[in-house]
């Protein structure tokens, strides 16, 4: 299988209960970094971060998460199962601990992983992804977040979201990525995203993450479990996000022991793609600082 990104090897991994597809790059003896994509994406969303991490000597693993692209399409899609997928991937690759970096839904999984698997998390970097408890608190205190989350309620419906997103060769995907400069999101790039969503069962698999979250919030009366984060944590947040308010970061000090938040005023929700140089600078500086602290 040929990768669209030079220097990246694509592999399948037979994990407990899931066949996972993932991109690999960098030296096998490098510090492992696991990159977790969001919706409606796949491993390729990290195309600007992977080369920077490899050049810095890191071992990079970027999976297609459960239900996405070439990874197996089956539930359950609850966050505990998504966290187990990453722990199983670590086990499969012989990794005891890794840096965890996530964007959007991948960031939600990263938050949960760092909370549920603290011994397996060296550092956490979250990009435009709310901490689960902070998100529910923000919805209660800032009603504009509920309005911004309208699509989550729409995605609870059966079959209609699939039809709307896939209509006219996934034309809505062009609109989603419109804010990214064309030189950073080319027509060829968008074609890859469309092909990933068009894999059999992939669009429904991706939407089932939202459906699982919706059911959980209903049964828990709108409250997420408290997730404390002991790992050093960096939040990178594009302020032009139309889906997630920056107020999601206000409650974070209650849940995160070692926190740094960096805002990029001109970046959108797709922060790692529309401002890759700034994101890479912040990401690598944070990782290098953590390495220095461990050796002192």
Rounded to two decimals, the pTM is 0.96
Residue 222 has pLDDT above 70, yes or no: no
Q: Is the N-terminal amide bond of 58 cis, ω within 30° of 0?
A: no
At 82-100, the pLDDT tens digits run 999 999 999 999 999 999 9
CATH number at residue 103: 3.40.50.1820
At 136-186, the pLDDT tens digits run 899 989 989 999 999 999 999 999 999 999 999 999 999 999 889 999 999
Q: Which of 99, 269, 275, 290 is catalytic?
A: 269
Of 213 and 165, the one with more pLDDT? 165
| Domain-embedded: residue 63 | yes
Express as a percent the part of the chain with pLDDT over 70.
Answer: 96
Q: What does the pLDDT read at residue 221? A: 44
At 29-62, the pLDDT tens digits run 999 999 999 999 999 999 999 999 999 999 999 9
| Domain-embedded: residue 4 | no
DSSP conformation letters of 113-146 = HHHH-GGGEEEEEEES---HHHHHHHHHH-HHHH
Considering the chain, what is the average pLDDT of its residues?
A: 94
| Number of domains into which the chain is organized | 1
Q: What does the pLDDT read at residue 214? A: 80
Q: What is the mean pLDDT of residues 276-289?
A: 97
Of 218 and 151, the one with more pLDDT? 151
- pLDDT grade for 223, boundaries at 50, 70 and 90: low
CA dihedral sign of residues 95, 3, 83, 118: positive
Q: Which of 85, 104, 189, 274 is catalytic?
A: 104
| Domain-embedded: residue 74 | yes
Q: What does the pLDDT read at residue 293? A: 73
Residue 3 has pLDDT above 50, yes or no: yes
- pLDDT grade for 224, boundaries at 50, 70 and 90: low
| Domain-embedded: residue 2 | no
| Domain span at 264 | 9-295
Alpha-helical runs (H) found in the chain = 49-55, 79-92, 105-116, 132-141, 143-148, 150-154, 160-176, 187-197, 202-219, 271-274, 276-295
- pLDDT grade for 218, boundaries at 50, 70 and 90: low
Q: What is the mean pLDDT of residues 63-81?
A: 96
| Domain-embedded: residue 72 | yes
How, if at all, do strands 9-15 and 18-25 pair? antiparallel
| Domain-embedded: residue 285 | yes
Cross-strand partners of 171:
none
Q: Which of 44, 68, 135, 210 is catalytic?
A: 210
Say how far apart CA 26 and CA 9 lie, in whole Å.
10
| Domain-embedded: residue 16 | yes
User: Would you call 267 helix, strand, or coil by DSSP?
Assistant: coil
| Domain-embedded: residue 3 | no
At 238-258, the pLDDT tens digits run 999 999 999 999 999 999 999
Q: What does the pLDDT read at residue 295? A: 65
Express as a percent the part of the chain with pLDDT over 90.
Answer: 89
269 is catalytic: yes
């Amino acid at each position: 299988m040929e990768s669209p990104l030079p220097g990246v090897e694509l592999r399948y991994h037979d994990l407990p209960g899931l066949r996972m597809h993932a991109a690999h790059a960098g030296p096998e003896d490098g510090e492992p970094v696991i990159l977790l994509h969001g919706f409606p994406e796949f491993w390729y969303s990290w195309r600007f971060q992977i080369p920077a991490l490899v050049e810095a000597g890191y071992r990079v693993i970027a999976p297609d998460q459960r239900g996405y692209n070439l990874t197996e399409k089956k539930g359950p899609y609850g966050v505990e199962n998504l966290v187990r997928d990453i722990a199983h991937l670590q086990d499969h690759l012989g990794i005891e601990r890794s840096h965890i970096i996530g964007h959007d839904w991948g960031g939600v999984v990263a938050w949960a992983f760092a909370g549920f698997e603290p011994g397996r998390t060296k550092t956490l970097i979250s990009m435009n992804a709310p901490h689960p408890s902070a998100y529910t608190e923000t919805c209660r205190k800032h009603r504009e977040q509920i309005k911004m989350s309208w699509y989550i309620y729409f995605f609870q419906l059966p079959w209609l979201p699939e039809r709307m997103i896939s209509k006219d060769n996934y034309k809505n995907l062009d609109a989603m990525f419109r804010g990214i400069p064309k030189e950073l999101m080319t027509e060829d790039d968008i074609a890859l995203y469309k092909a990933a969503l068009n894999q059999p069962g992939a669009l429904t698999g991706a939407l089932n993450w939202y459906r699982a979250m919706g059911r959980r919030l209903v049964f828990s009366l709108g409250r997420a479990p408290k997730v404390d984060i002991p790992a050093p944590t960096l939040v990178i947040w594009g302020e032009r996000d139309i889906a997630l308010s920056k107020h999601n970061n206000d409650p974070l000090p209650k849940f995160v022991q070692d926190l740094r938040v960096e805002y990029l005023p001109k970046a959108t929700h797709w922060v790692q793609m529309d401002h890759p140089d700034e994101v890479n600078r912040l990401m690598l500086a944070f990782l290098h600082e953590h390495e220095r602290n461990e050796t002192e």
